[in-house]
């Protein structure tokens, strides 16, 4: 199994460290050639700045081929800005952000949803299929509305902060900034299941 990690901006190195600890091979996705040959089985879209990432995805000509792979059923784990890149619709979008995200997951994500005072915070929360885990939020979005096919996996103070739709997994928080590898393991199981279904 090999995981691709979008490495144009943001907290990709932290995801790499998690995969290293789990003994999983990964590759960084930085340019269009990295997407050729479909040589990875799952993709991580890290936290960072979704507006910048969306722009870089276009500039580097990664956007269309990556979107096609996601639509084709590639398992994807999006954290924070990665969640925003996957959301069908974004509240509080900046500039032309609505044009520069994949819009593959049937949900409305509210960007920078926690206001200024609560720019970042952490707590122990419960995620379905994962258990109790530390959740670190940094200028995080939350999921304001879900489509029928989307399963909420975690709620914090009545707001949905993790969800899954088929092969797409998103968290508004950052498991890669903690020592807990349970969410990565959950994602890797999704990737393994998809691999088995293809063989």
Binding site for ligand GLN (CB under 6 A): 47-50, 80-81, 84, 111-112, 138-139
Residue 174 among the catalytic residues: yes
* 27's tokens: 């590759």
Single out the catalytic residue among 80, 101, 165, 184.
Answer: 80
Q: Is 133 left (phi over 0), alpha (psi -120 to 50) or beta?
A: beta
Quick one: 3 or 138, whose CB is closer to ligand GLN?
138
Quick one: 41 or 62, whose CB is closer to ligand GLN?
62
Alpha-helix residue ranges (DSSP H) falling in the chain: 12-21, 50-59, 63-71, 81-86, 182-198
* 170's tokens: 């998103």
Say if residues 100 and 64 touch (Cβ distance below 8 Å): no
Quick one: 178 or 192, whose CB is closer to ligand GLN?
178
Which position has the token pair 């995080």? 140
Output phi, psi for 176, to 5 deg.
-70, -10
Q: How many residues are recorded in the chain?
A: 199
Residue 80 among the catalytic residues: yes
Residue 104 among the catalytic residues: no
d(CA 180, CA 34) in angstroms, rounded, equals: 29
CA torsion sign for 1, 60, 8, 174 is negative
Catalytic amino acids?
80, 174, 176
């Amino acid at each position: 199994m090999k995981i691709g990690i979008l490495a144009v901006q943001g907290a990709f190195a932290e995801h790499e460290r998690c995969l290293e600890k789990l003994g999983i091979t990964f590759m960084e996705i930085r340019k269009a050639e990295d997407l050729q040959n479909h040589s990875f089985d799952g993709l991580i879209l890290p936290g960072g700045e979704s507006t910048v990432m969306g722009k870089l995805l276009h500039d580097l000509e990664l956007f269309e081929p990556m979107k096609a792979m996601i639509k084709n059923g590639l398992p994807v784990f999006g954290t924070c800005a990665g969640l925003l890149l996957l959301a069908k619709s974004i509240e509080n979008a900046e500039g032309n952000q609505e044009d520069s995200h994949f819009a593959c997951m049937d949900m409305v994500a509210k960007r920078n949803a926690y206001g200024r005072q609560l720019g970042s915070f952490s707590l122990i929360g419960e995620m379905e299929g994962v258990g109790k885990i530390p959740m670190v939020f940094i200028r995080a979005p939350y999921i304001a509305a879900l489509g029928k096919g989307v399963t909420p996996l975690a709620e914090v103070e009545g707001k949905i902060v993790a969800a899954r739709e088929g092969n797409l997994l998103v968290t508004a928080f950052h498991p890669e900034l903690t020592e807990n590898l349970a969410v990565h393991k959950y994602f890797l199981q999704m990737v393994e299941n998809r691999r088995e279904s293809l063989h």
